[in-house]
Structure 1
Amino acid sequence: MADLPFGFSAGDSGDDPDPDKRKKDPESGSGADPFGFGGGQFDMGDLGQIFSKLGEMFSGAGNVMGGQHSGPVNYDLARQLASSSIGFVNPVPEKTSGAVADAVRLAETWLDGVTPLPAGTTRTVAWTPGEWVDNTLNTWKRLCDPVAEQISNVWVSALPEEAKGMAGPLLAMMSQMGGMAFGSQLGQALGKLSKEVLTSTDIGLPLGPKGTAALMPDAIEALGEGLEHPRSELLTFLAAREAAHHRLFSGVPWLSSQLLSAIEAFAKGMKIDMSGIEELAAGFNPAALADPSQMEQMLSQGMFEPKATPEQEAALERLETLLALIDGWVQTVVNDALGDRIPGAAALSEMLRRRRATGGPAEQTFATLVGLELRPRKLREAADLWVRLTEAVGSDARDAVWQHPDLLPSAADLDEPAGFIDRIVGGDTSGIDEALAEMENDLRTKDDGADDTDRGTPGPVDN
């Protein structure tokens, strides 16, 4: 069973010397009672006492392990662990920051000639690993909260109603411990990731503040040690990719929300395997709750095995396709912008493509935390589609495809790009009219609802 951020193990606690005998012995509970209360012989009053004692035992855990927090993830603990993992790092020298700013400024000038999307950077910075953590943590909250909340809600909803009524201390404790467990994993992952990412958009998501082009000099220097390309070429190439990402995210306002929506849809599609809970309850020994080492073991393992649902698969396909289209577009415009200016641009693009396709640190982070991979599996196909579309209709018509999500190529279009290109060449915008009509209808419905509210009791007024 795969490890999950928090929850009980689906196996026995290990205290039962003869689990087979227990399963066969009707006096010790049977499979007819899926939650292991011995066919009604277990005193629910005793269960309430267990919950109360357990709550008291962990009442001070939050102060010891990361302080007070609200929500499904303890981000204070995540920040502390990430900082501890990074250790002391010298500030970025002013000369290096100047070189980064010059590289982004030069890249913006070259990009102006290959895309109608305006520059999206308003500020250029060179970050240390610690600064990367501080400046991206707010976005990580938006990415991790939906999954952590769903994990927490899913196992609580599976408790028997009678147990829910008495499990207040236990549920509060589990929520706190779950937030610390998830925060611990997030902090360790971010600490590692902060030393390996090259830019703020290195994983295809806009992690940093809007309009802030950020490069990571230490990671870029480490990457350059294994390459034959001059450091100046590598810096300018990565600056161009960062600037291109910001043009796309700034010029296509719906793009960031679509990425986050796909991650949220993945989380909402998560289903619980009830057999794991039933196995746990059938072999549950209340005495184990008094042993902190056994509690730690139970909390460090996944309580259930998530099942791949159609909703999750659909959300994952949308996310992978969108990431591939973003990376493919960036690769296309950067190659066009750099052209002969940087002889090694094509080789550097291929190096980064392989780095993403084989599963870099970002994919490992998400796979560890939420079971979600950020691998753009069809990056090569997406880049090929954008190149062919540029040759067929030019950069203006190519980038007009980003006006609405319904105009973008689908996963099937990446496999068969000729049909998509023919539709664009022929001026076919099928789907956009319906999408706009649906949007107008939604707005009209909201306006009607607002009018009804105005005619009723006045609502609160924002100050």
Structure 2
Amino acid sequence: MTSNPLTPSNGDDEPRDPLAEMLKNLMGGQGMGNIDPAELAKAAGLPNDPNLLAQMFSQVQAMMSASSEGPVNWQLAHENARRVAAEGSDPSVTSQQSREVDEALRLAELWLDPVTVLPATGLIGRAWSRAEWVEETLGTWKRLTEPVANSIANALSEAMTEQMPEEMKSMMGGASSMIQNMGGAIFGMQLGQAIGALSADVVGSTDIGLPLADLEMALLPANVAKFGDGLSLPDNDIRLFLAVREAAHARLFVQVPWLRGHLLGAIEAYARGIHIDTSRIEELARDLDPSNPEGIQEALSQGVFMPQRTPAQDQALEKLETALALVEGWVDELTAAATEKMLPSAAALRETVRRRRATGGPAEQAFASLVGLELRPRRLREAAVLWATLKNERGIEGRDAIWQHPDLMPTAEDLDDPAGFSARRQLAEASDTEVDDALQKLLSGGFDAPARPEDSGADAGEGQGPAADEAETKDNGGSEDDGPKA
């Protein structure tokens, strides 16, 4: 029997799928084959912790043969996020901490009442551990990152099926599902790493400017204490200031129903347009050699799955950053107004939070490298100035009325020139009024109809109606009464 060199035998005259065999050698079975787990972890952006890698890759090996729901292995993402969140120390919340958080958030709601017309939410304040934060927010992270994962999965699938040389296509066999599972596992590990790292930095459910937990108001006592390290300020002042920020975020997202969907939808739209560099994946496909799994290892270590930002995405990012800045600027302005007479340390804490939000921490940077999206409000200070200007011009009620509809929201131009916002809005409203008036006049027949060519009377007998007969009679010196009488 003549054997096909691209379809080697397994010793019992049954052909094997060489690509599948190579991938099994890569991710399962005999000690990961010739692949160095540390190098594969580097490709996924994970720390080189032998114990952690051993645990994760044992799970990956078990999952490689089973398809995951969608492009991301969410089970792996969840378990990795919980594992990273538990690193160091993540003690359970004590009853005293729960009571302190509840009291701080209740007091924060009272302090906010005089500085905004948006009513209190009535939500119960909660104290979360880092693991609880992961559990409460994972659903939103899934919504935000799936478009990116879809882009990666589609790019990988297209490269492996359409761009692969013809002689390689015959080798695919049942290995395509393994490739998809491998990509989903890598992305899941990356995402879990980023979410778990964020859980060690955030102080509440809205700390990054997004409502990650639906209809929740919470603080993380362990991270609040970490936030206060080195500030030399009373713990109670720090807790109260952060509680006011959390309550202000919650009040905005609850009382402005369109805002949550607007922000999350903008991020989803941005993520759907992320470009994956398929040429790098095509190179991986062309260079695959079943006898040389180190080729895949080297390609992965170069970040072959990382998303690339396009000029169109840069424009979308500017719009998203404006929306995030407006949310953060409003919260910043309200928090300052609510605490300036209550907390002696309010000004110092405000500046600390501003710098923290503007620069972002390692966890936010890790998330940005994963999905190509930075969630930092770069223009927080300009947005705060805009909201303060609107309060001076229109009062609290007029300022907060801006949130009634997304079409009323300020733009990046308004952040550049806060003082000119009202004048520009008046010009826009005047223009809209003129258009509406003109349209109404047209619909009511107020405009003269344009003359039609057929009304010129060029053709014999055309345009001869009662009015024309009357005009002709008058031209002849007669009148309607000059006619014959019975």
**Fold-level match, TM-score > 0.5?**
yes
- For 2:207, the equivalent position in structure 1 comes to 202
CA shift digits 1:232-286 (9 cap, x unpaired): 1111111110000011111111211222222222222223445424544554433
| Structure 1 position 148, deviation (Å) | 0.9
- For 1:246, the equivalent position in structure 2 comes to 250
Distance (whole Å) between structure 1 residues aligned to residue 433 and residue 368 of structure 2: 35
Are positions 1:276 and 2:276 aligned together?
no
Which segment drifts farther, 237-246 or 402-411?
402-411
| Structure 1 position 82, deviation (Å) | 2.5
Are positions 1:176 and 2:181 aligned together?
yes
CA shift digits 1:153-187 (9 cap, x unpaired): 12322345466686352321121111111111122
- For 2:240, the equivalent position in structure 1 comes to 236
Distance (whole Å) between structure 2 residues aligned to residue 230 and residue 421 of structure 1: 41
Unaligned ranges ≥5, structure 1? 1-41, 435-463
Distance (whole Å) between structure 2 residues aligned to residue 325 and residue 354 of structure 1: 16
| Structure 1 position 432, deviation (Å) | 11
Are positions 1:53 and 2:57 aligned together?
no
Distance (whole Å) between structure 2 residues aligned to residue 406 and residue 164 of structure 1: 51
| Structure 1 position 100, deviation (Å) | 0.8
| Structure 1 position 225, deviation (Å) | 2.5
Distance (whole Å) between structure 1 residues aligned to residue 407 and residue 269 of structure 2: 18
Matches within 5 A, 1:280-359: 280-281=284-285, 283-289=287-293, 295-303=296-304, 306-359=307-360
Are positions 1:226 and 2:230 aligned together?
yes
CA shift digits 1:128-158 (9 cap, x unpaired): 1111111111111111111111111123223
Scaled by the length of structure 1, what TM-score is found?
A: 0.76
The answer to whether the Cα contact below 8 Å between 1:66 and 1:180 also exists between their aligned partners in 2 is no
| Structure 1 position 115, deviation (Å) | 1.0
RMSD: 3.0
3-state SS of paired residue (1:130): helix
The answer to whether the Cα contact below 8 Å between 1:233 and 1:342 also exists between their aligned partners in 2 is yes
| Structure 1 position 120, deviation (Å) | 2.5
3-state SS of paired residue (1:90): coil
The amino acid of 1:209's aligned partner reads D
Unaligned ranges ≥5, structure 2? 9-14, 30-56, 436-486
Classify 1:142/1:306 alpha carbon distance in 2 versus 1 (closer, same or farther; 3 Å). Answer: closer
The amino acid of 2:21's aligned partner reads K
| Structure 1 position 303, deviation (Å) | 2.3
Classify 1:295/1:419 alpha carbon distance in 2 versus 1 (closer, same or farther; 3 Å). Answer: same
The answer to whether the Cα contact below 8 Å between 2:90 and 2:222 also exists between their aligned partners in 1 is no
When the two structures are aligned, how many residues end up with a matched partner? Answer: 389
- For 1:84, the equivalent position in structure 2 comes to 83
| Structure 1 position 382, deviation (Å) | 0.4
Larger relative contact order, structure 1 or 2 (CA cutoff 8 Å, min sep 6): 1
The amino acid of 1:127's aligned partner reads W
3-state SS of paired residue (1:314): helix
Distance (whole Å) between structure 2 residues aligned to residue 432 and residue 214 of structure 1: 45
| Structure 1 position 62, deviation (Å) | 8.6
3-state SS of paired residue (2:217): strand
Classify 1:274/1:209 alpha carbon distance in 2 versus 1 (closer, same or farther; 3 Å). Answer: closer
Tell me which structure has the larger Cα radius of gyration: 2
The amino acid of 1:202's aligned partner reads D
The answer to whether the Cα contact below 8 Å between 2:307 and 2:370 also exists between their aligned partners in 1 is no
Distance (whole Å) between structure 2 residues aligned to residue 250 and residue 432 of structure 1: 32
Classify 1:402/1:345 alpha carbon distance in 2 versus 1 (closer, same or farther; 3 Å). Answer: same
The answer to whether the Cα contact below 8 Å between 1:54 and 1:170 also exists between their aligned partners in 2 is no
- For 1:368, the equivalent position in structure 2 comes to 369
The amino acid of 2:394's aligned partner reads V
Classify 1:279/1:375 alpha carbon distance in 2 versus 1 (closer, same or farther; 3 Å). Answer: same
The answer to whether the Cα contact below 8 Å between 2:20 and 2:174 also exists between their aligned partners in 1 is yes
Classify 1:84/1:278 alpha carbon distance in 2 versus 1 (closer, same or farther; 3 Å). Answer: closer
Distance (whole Å) between structure 1 residues aligned to residue 426 and residue 337 of structure 2: 21
CA shift digits 1:95-133 (9 cap, x unpaired): 121111111111101111111112235121111111111
Distance (whole Å) between structure 2 residues aligned to residue 431 and residue 248 of structure 1: 28
3-state SS of paired residue (1:340): coil
Distance (whole Å) between structure 2 residues aligned to residue 369 and residue 305 of structure 1: 7
The answer to whether the Cα contact below 8 Å between 1:392 and 1:425 also exists between their aligned partners in 2 is no
| Structure 1 position 422, deviation (Å) | 2.6
Which segment drifts farther, 230-239 or 424-433?
424-433
3-state SS of paired residue (1:286): coil
Classify 1:400/1:74 alpha carbon distance in 2 versus 1 (closer, same or farther; 3 Å). Answer: same
